[in-house]
Amino acid sequence: MDERQRPLVIAFDVMETLFPIVPLEARFTAAGLAPGTVRLWFERTLRNGFALSAGGGYRPFAEVAVGALLDVDGHRLTEPTVRELVGAIAELEPRPEAAAALRLARTAGPRVVALTNGSADTTGALLGRTGLDAHVERVISADEVRRWKPAPEPYLHAAAACGVPRARLALVAAHAWDVEGARRAGLTTGWSSHLEGLFPQVFEPADVSGADLVDVVEGLLER
């Protein structure tokens, strides 16, 4: 622990932090896609979104995701089929401890928001369908600043939208790149190792690390 203060707001990343994408595999393989396509598709989606932001461009998550899956598939599936597969994100279920982590954060005092590269509408509907919206004050989307995380703009916008200093906003994420982007923007950071296992040595460590989301929230609340 460093000298940072306890967060006033805790922002949770959404995809692969609160919601695993592995269950999409069954839908993808049923459509004739090769096993492992879900991971390749999602990584390609992130890569393309990051590259657009780095070059000063922007496309919404859904558009980038559809394009990435068309490319990964070699344009064999029709675009309507691909859009349906990407739309299956709306049917995902949260991690087992997701509700407990959000509840713990909210009842301990900090406000809770979601910070996503996806759209606010889609994310809000996902949180609502699974009951997680009961713990989340609002969804803040990269669409609002037309830059994908880990560019600084989404993190800075989140702090401004919540009306708190950057250091009093904590990001909880399972992606190390997201934690690194938040750290460079001046946020407090919490990394859950449930997805990646080991934190990359090339990045500065997160302020708090844990085996799952509850562990991370508990660490942030101890500050």
Total number of domains constituting the chain: 2
Look at residue 1 in the predicted model and tell me its pLDDT: 40
Domain CATH number, residue 35: 1.10.150
> Looking at the structure, do residues 149 and 49 belong to the same domain, yes or no?
no
> Looking at the structure, do residues 16 and 29 belong to the same domain, yes or no?
no
Q: Would you say residue 100 lies in a domain?
A: yes
> Looking at the structure, do residues 85 and 109 belong to the same domain, yes or no?
no
* Residue range 168-197, pLDDT digits in tens: 999 999 999 999 999 999 999 999 999 999
> Looking at the structure, do residues 83 and 104 belong to the same domain, yes or no?
no
> Looking at the structure, do residues 156 and 182 belong to the same domain, yes or no?
yes
> Looking at the structure, do residues 210 and 102 belong to the same domain, yes or no?
yes
Q: Would you say residue 4 lies in a domain?
A: no
Boundaries of domain holding 36 = 24-91
Average pLDDT rounded to a whole number, residues 145-163: 99
* Residue range 39-75, pLDDT digits in tens: 999 999 999 999 999 999 999 999 999 999 999 999 9
> Looking at the structure, do residues 35 and 105 belong to the same domain, yes or no?
no
pTM: 0.96
Look at residue 58 in the predicted model and tell me its pLDDT: 98
For residue 212, the tally of other CB atoms under 10 A from its CB is 17
> Looking at the structure, do residues 99 and 87 belong to the same domain, yes or no?
no
> Looking at the structure, do residues 128 and 199 belong to the same domain, yes or no?
yes
* Cα separation of the two ends of the chain: 7
